[in-house]
Amino acid sequence: MKKRILALLLAGVMALGLCACGGGADEGGEASAPAEGGNVVAIAMGSGFDTMDPGYCYEKYPALVINACYETLFKFYSNDGAAEPCLADTYEFSADNMTLTITLRDSTFASGNPVTSEDVKFSLERVKNLKGNPSFITDTIASIDTPDEKTVVLNLTQPDSAILSKLTYSAMAILDSKVVIENGGTCAEDASTADTAQSYLDTTSAGSGMYVMTSYKPDEEIVMEKNPNYSGEATNVDKYVIKIQPDANTQMMTLSGGDIDIAMNLTKDTFAEVEGKDGIVTEAVASKTVSFIMMNMDEQYGGPVSDPLVQQAIRKAVDYAGIQAICGEGTTTPYSLIQTGFMGAKGERSTDYTNVEEAKALLAEAGYADGFEIDLTVCDLAMEGILLSDLAQKVKDDLAQIGITVNIVPQPWAAGYGDAYRDGTLGFTVMYWGIDYNDPNVQLEFMPGASVGLRAGWTAEMDPDLAALYNQAMEATDNDARTAVLEQIQDGMYENGPFVMIAQAPVYLGYNERLTGVEISDPYVVDVTLINVAQ
């Protein structure tokens, strides 16, 4: 018996030895040649999502897949552009801006079914009634009429200046209603409990986009192949293999090694590693994700930072240039509430804005000439790979210059921080805000009386003039009027209020030079329907 055990052990050693010596590089070489014909592009992207059902999609990365496999009524064809018709052919607002009438262009789902107004009604009502994370996007849609197969009428609850942008959102993707209903889908009012189509939509897509999702393995990979029934002009990429690689170092190595073509989650350090390498193109631009300091206006929670003079002192003491250096190339500091890249944005806050002496004087005027001690709560999240705790440390150092002693209190998001943040009981914190739909109106939530404003105890009554601008901005459908209101709001919050916008996070992208049309996209991460392989 013992002899046999020993023999087995020795055989195992030899087998493993042979395996370890067996040319890994050669095998790697064999594998790197595409086994199937056509242009295959491999993408590495981060994790943090759990479904590919558009009705539940809210996180950042599914937008890449949804945009490729589904079409929406409107779409952003460039990152800084306006929403343009996609499945919509023409559209018209009523005189009171309470109705939006859309006629559909001819298009076909991957199943071969034509796209009709009933599909649009089904898709939008399903999102609303699923009562999931993205349901809020339909809040201003009161009802949907379908007078004929090609006409959709959206009846709104109020004029909505962002409605076209909202209709570009992933959750507003138009689904093949016949296929989805066959697989357990419903748009009825009880959809939150009755709809069972998620499991189907997690295995394949049911849209009219350029690609069809043929495989989704959570935390592993997503495969998309050309939609043979696509009605638009397709690019020359036949297949996308998306590898879920949360680690930036892994993405850097797989991009450099040629195993992937696009790395979407490089960090400052890994970006520097691939920058300038042969065959790799790099891009670093500011995203619309913004980090901010929040100081609670309610003295019960904010203590000294609830004083507007102290808030202004902190605004003056923050070293914006230093924060940009921490975040890395491509970081900007927005002028005020609205990030650069959005319609109506007033650009950047000058790094000369920092003035420690002025900050000290403001603090003395507030009655804190000798400074004070305060807790700054920070959670375990990261903004585009930048730890909020790193930003909190920088704020601590900056405020020490004016005599404020900051004690950093770490608290996990899921273990209390999230509740306190939502309930408005956090006194002083550094947090970040990622946009959901691509429109400046998402920033208006920071205004007095709006959802994020209330988290800082900033009620509409505290600043009625500013609060009044909220509704004006929400309802101004004329672009010039809208821009004027947005500029007024930014000026109104430049040196006022409980928020200090400290950095607009950079996004680092690296891709193989054989690709063209690769660009960072705020709504779609990267718009894969614009990518071609250079011939």
Q: Tell which positions 47-66 bind other proteins, by CB under 8 A.
A: 47, 50-51, 56, 58
User: Left if phi > 0, otherwise alpha if psi is -120 to 50, otherwise beta: which for 56?
Assistant: alpha
Euclidean distance between CA atoms 518 and 508, whole angstroms: 12
Determine, following the binding rule CB under 8 A, whether residue 91 of this chain makes contact with other proteins.
no
Nearer to other proteins, 363 or 505 (CB): 505
Q: What's the closest the beta carbon of residue 245 comes to other proteins, in angstroms?
A: 5
Could you say whether residue 40 binds other proteins (CB under 8 A)?
yes
- The nearest distance, CB 343 to other proteins, in angstroms, is 21
CB of 55 to other proteins, least distance (A): 11
Question: Of 88 and 167, which has the nearer Cβ to other proteins?
Answer: 167
In the complex, the smallest distance separating the C-beta of residue 526 from other proteins, rounded to whole angstroms, is 17
The H or E element that residue 263 is part of is strand 262-266
Task: Report the run of H or E that residue 241 belongs to, with start and end.
Answer: strand 239-244
- Looking at beta carbons only, is 223 or 234 nearer to other proteins? 223
440-459: contacts with other proteins (CB under 8 A): 451-452
What is the C-alpha end-to-end distance of the chain, expressed in Å? 63
* By CB under 8 A, residue 165 contacts other proteins: no
Q: Does 264 bind other proteins (CB under 8 A)?
A: no
Please pick, from the candidates 97, 103, 108, 133, the single residue that binds other proteins as defined by CB under 8 A: 133
- Using CB atoms within 10 Å of the CB of residue 18, give its burial: 0 to 12 exposed, 13 to 18 middle, 19+ buried: exposed
Applying CB under 8 A, among 181, 234, 241, 409 the residue interacting with other proteins is: 241
Among 82, 223, 272, 364, binds other proteins (CB under 8 A): 223
Shortest distance, position 102 Cβ to other proteins, whole Å: 25
C-beta closer to other proteins: residue 12 or 410 = 12
Q: Select from 243, 277, 396, 514 the one that contacts other proteins (CB under 8 A).
A: 243
Does residue number 136 form part of the binding site for other proteins (CB under 8 A)? yes
198 contributes a contact to other proteins by CB under 8 A: yes
Q: Which of these segments, 17-25, 111-119, 172-180, 525-533, binds other proteins (CB under 8 A)? A: 17-25
The minimum distance between CB 412 and other proteins, in angstroms, equals: 7
**Choices 39-47, 279-287, 308-316, 387-395 (CB under 8 A): range interacting with other proteins:** 39-47
Angle at CA of residue 249, ends 248 and 254, nearest 5°: 100
Binding to other proteins in span 335-374, by CB under 8 A: none
Amino acid at 399: L
3-state secondary structure 358-403: HHHHHHHHCCCCCCEEEEEEECCCEECCEEHHHHHHHHHHHHHCCC
Cβ-based nearer residue to other proteins, 231 or 389: 389
Least distance from other proteins to the Cβ atom of residue 2, Å: 5
Which of 192/236 has CB closer to other proteins?
A: 192
Q: Among 12, 38, 367, 410, which residue interacts with other proteins (rule: CB under 8 A)?
A: 12
DSSP 3-state helix, strand, coil percentages of the chain (rounded to 5)? 35, 25, 40
Torsion sign, CA atoms 228, 234, 239, 240: negative
Shortest separation between residue 357's beta carbon and other proteins, angstroms: 37
Q: Which is nearer to other proteins, 293 or 452 (CB)?
A: 452
Alpha helices in 417-478 (DSSP H): 417-423, 451-455, 464-475
Dihedral, CA of residue 463, residue 499, residue 454 and residue 338, to nearest 10: 80
Task: Tell me the C-alpha distance between 195 and 132, whole Å.
Answer: 12
* 18 near other proteins (CB under 8 A): no
The answer to whether residue 465 forms part of the interface with other proteins (CB under 8 A) is no
Give me the residues paired with residue 244 across strands. Answer: 45
Secondary structure E strands in 66-177: 74-76, 83-85, 88-93, 99-104, 141-148, 151-156
Q: What's the CA gap between 177 and 144, in Å, rounded? A: 15
Report the distance separating Cα 227 and Cα 111, nearest Å: 9
> Judged by CB under 8 A, does residue 217 bind other proteins?
yes
Residues 404-443 that bind other proteins (CB under 8 A): 412-419, 422, 436
Determine the Cα angle at 68 with ends 65 and 69, to 5°.
85
143-162 residues near other proteins, rule: CB under 8 A:
none
User: Cβ distance 140 to 156 under 8 Å?
Assistant: yes
- Upper half-sphere CA count for residue 496 (Cβ side, 13 Å): 13
Q: Report if residue 188 touches other proteins, rule: CB under 8 A.
A: no
> Considering the rule CB under 8 A, would residue 89 count as an interface residue with other proteins?
no
d(CA 268, CA 276): 14
**In this chain, which of 13, 188, 400, 468 binds other proteins, going by CB under 8 A?**
13
Pick the stretch among 16-24, 67-75, 93-101, 498-506 that binds other proteins (CB under 8 A). 16-24
Least distance in angstroms from the C-beta of 199 to other proteins: 7
Residue 232 in tokens? 């638009």
Instruction: Considering only the stretches 31-39, 142-150, 466-474, 487-495, report the one whose residues sit in contact with other proteins under the rule CB under 8 A.
Output: 31-39
| Binding range to other proteins, per CB under 8 A, among 230-238, 246-254, 336-344, 499-507 | 246-254
Q: Which stretch binds other proteins (CB under 8 A): 155-163, 219-227, 299-307, 341-349?
A: 219-227
Output the CA–CA distances (angstroms, integers) from residue 438 to 1, 76, 95, 140, 164, in the order listed: 70, 9, 25, 16, 10
d(CA 183, CA 468): 46
- The answer to whether 254 contacts other proteins (rule: CB under 8 A) is yes
Among positions 39, 72, 117, 135, the unique one binding other proteins when judged by CB under 8 A: 135
Instruction: For residue 123, give the nearest of 141, 101, 147, 110 by alpha carbon.
Output: 141
Q: Distance between alpha carbon 93 and the CA centroid of its chain, in Å?
A: 28
Residue with structure tokens 């029934």? 229
Specify which residues 407 forms β-bridges with.
Answer: 375
The CB-of-254 to other proteins minimum distance in angstroms stands at: 5
